[in-house]
Amino acid sequence: MKLEDRMRLSIRRRAGHVILRADVSGLGSASQVSHALTVLQDKGELVRLGAGVYAKAIRDAGTGAVRPLADFETLARETASKLRMVADPKAVGTAGTVQALADSGSIGIATDVYLLGALVYHIACGRAPHPA
């Protein structure tokens, strides 16, 4: 069985939608795993979210566009969980800023959207969107 097929089977058997490179790195050498991940992306079975982070995907039969099987928020939460990221106010601003928002009662949907975007930026770039 080819590495691509073994990787496809391993990914299908995994719960959740997010696949880390570390999850499949034991299936072959670094270059073989890179090649197999690229092939699965080209076939529309995976979409790359960031460095070493992939999501299960599907190709639309009509348009040919590839999209993740889960929504953005689900992918962000699952990625944060798999990477064992802890909610840290420094990742999106200072603790004082977060406390001031909480005290003013201005935390709402817009704040959630901003924090989600900051989390995804942090995952993709490896740093906070702005200095703390």
pLDDT digits 0-9 by tens, 92-113: 455 555 555 566 565 666 666 7
User: pLDDT confidence of 39, banded at 50, 70, 90?
Assistant: very high
CA distance 78 to 128: 19
What confidence score (pLDDT) does residue 128 get? Answer: 74
Q: What is the mean pLDDT of residues 18-35?
A: 92
Q: Between 86 and 43, whose confidence is greater? A: 43
Domain ranges of the chain: 3-69, 89-125
Report the percent of the chain where pLDDT is more than 90: 36
Tell me how far apart the 2 most distant CA atoms of the chain are, in Å: 60
Residue 125: left if φ>0, alpha if ψ -120 to 50, beta else—which one? alpha
Which CATH architecture fits 3-69? Orthogonal Bundle (1.10)
Residue 85 vs residues 14, 90, 119, 120: alpha-carbon distances, Å? 20, 12, 10, 12
What tokens does 118 get?
Answer: 């900051």
CA distance 50 to 82: 13
What tokens does 130 get?
Answer: 């702005």
Tell me what the pLDDT averaged over the chain comes to: 80
